[in-house]
Structure 1
């Protein structure tokens, strides 16, 4: 009982921040993302007569009792429950980019999606349910909320719901609706997303953020389906600034960006003043995504490269798949 899956990280366009239910990882509001095809996580899951559950990430075994392993085993345990399995599990996962190279690129989303997809297939659940991305997204959510959207692929919306059954993601649009060129500027950091999710609920602006996100999400989905890149990208910039404002105003005053982040944002705004349609986007970390039209990527990449920063060109990625 063995299977391998590949999933892509996502760029959150309207991001979630904070969790109502930390075990099931249910958020305070809906969110939207787009997968990026230049990066991926590849995970192999095998159920068998092992002495204990083992999860390997980028060549290193996860520490027993550690938070990361617990989140992975929530996925595995749910698959075992659905499949009525008692066998132990061995999971081996590799990212196309190491965590030491960048923070805020959504690799936990790809990791959760690939783990859930591989485990679902290895346990033969596809024979019972079919390749049901709604179920897989609910399983993946137990590792990382954003993993539910990585499962769906392309443009996906995660519905908050109120329990395990109703909190899932689905694809809402494809690159034929809106083909966006994306330039990634990876920046490393040691900030932990879990710490940020816990801290943001202490911000005096948290309730205003929930209201703002709920007001904006319908507008963003409509703009994506209409192929209005500049409207979408403008809304993403607003959302990114709100996210980091909330992060900084929590109890511990966490700062998730770096000088390089500000350098990129400044250059993006300068490009826009010069008539180049470039827009920045950030998640919980200092790495920056730049959204533009696919044909404008070369000139945007040249400008950011002139700052001495590494860049990665990417298009839109699909959902989790078995390989």
Structure 2
């Protein structure tokens, strides 16, 4: 058996993507911090076989246990990527995957999980001659996008853009790119503490949430706003203006959840403890003059973003004030990371 193995991180969007067109094309551009400690490790053991008419042959294991519940998602991924991975019918695979954080809890587990799998599949494609080394990362970003839109951004480290935008040269709806403009150094060591308010399956999946943007009363206004916010974000990243950077990040998070609440049917992923945390963060920032801001993905958990210089104060604040609102007192200290790592030689 041949073996490929990759570790790929999650990411946290600063300007959010919510709503998509057919073919996993985003309705607006987005930008994210790639994380470090929140990652997925995936190993694919594979061998060539005689094609027997079946489109693919695989087993999926999560944390060492066979996981039939994950099979439909992987099958959908392979169906979408079949043209890019023409060798699929003639390989048999065992996929082993594990997360360093909870699945389906508002940390982007699909982003790290599907980018890790895409990197493994890209590695196999490399060995089979279906892609060359030069185009490897872009190829894997395209694969990742077809699995889960935000996964396209996890193929790179640091700040990453996905979706075409007039102010970002090279940006594209089909794949992500490393952010091309000047970024003040403070952002390269930014921290992200993830407060685990809720652990487990979300009541409404992101796939369903994106679908509810079709025909949403505020959809077009939101897409226009996101484009404008991308342009504004470029300025804050260039100047190192932490106040306006954080203000914009918080507005994006609240807008994301406002879109969910005003869908038809509407739904709410905030929990009472989520709101308690947001209020506490705002009070702490005002009283202590610490540049810590919140954001959220499509879930109840809260991400605290802050510069490295504020780390000690924020860690103390989390332990003394916010831990009580976390499920079993759980939280994860993370930071901006360098991107995926190939684990096999």
Query: What TM-score does the superposition give when structure 2 sets the normalisation length?
Result: 0.83
Does 1:170 pair with 2:177? Answer: yes
**Distance between the aligned counterparts of 1:49 and 1:255, measured in 2?**
46
Q: Structure 1 residues 166, 20: closer, same or farther in 2, change over 3 A?
A: closer
- Corresponding residue of 1:280: 294
SS in 2 for 1:148: helix
- Corresponding residue of 1:71: 76
Instruction: Give 1:201's match in structure 2, choosing from 214, 233, 243.
Output: 214
Q: Structure 1 residues 105, 80: closer, same or farther in 2, change over 3 A?
A: same
Cα contact 1:45–1:122 (8 A) shared by 2? no
Aligned length: 315
SS in 2 for 1:237: helix
SS in 2 for 1:207: helix
- Corresponding residue of 1:111: 113
How many Å apart are 1:214 and its aligned residue?
0.9
How many Å apart are 1:183 and its aligned residue?
1.4
- Corresponding residue of 1:159: 163
- Corresponding residue of 2:102: 98
| Superposition CA RMSD, Å | 2.5
Q: Structure 1 residues 68, 175: closer, same or farther in 2, change over 3 A?
A: farther
Q: Which runs of 5+ in 2 are unaligned?
A: 50-55, 166-171
How many Å apart are 1:84 and its aligned residue?
7.6
How many Å apart are 1:78 and its aligned residue?
4.9
- Corresponding residue of 1:220: 233
Cα contact 1:177–1:226 (8 A) shared by 2? no
**Distance between the aligned counterparts of 1:304 and 1:68, measured in 2?**
35
How many Å apart are 1:133 and its aligned residue?
1.3
Instruction: Give 2:61's match in structure 1, choosing from 56, 65, 78.
Output: 56
SS in 2 for 1:39: strand
**Distance between the aligned counterparts of 1:62 and 1:79, measured in 2?**
25
Query: What TM-score does the superposition give when structure 1 sets the normalisation length?
Result: 0.88
- Corresponding residue of 2:193: 183
Instruction: Give 2:137's match in structure 1, choosing from 124, 133, 137.
Output: 133
**Distance between the aligned counterparts of 2:311 and 2:144, measured in 1?**
32
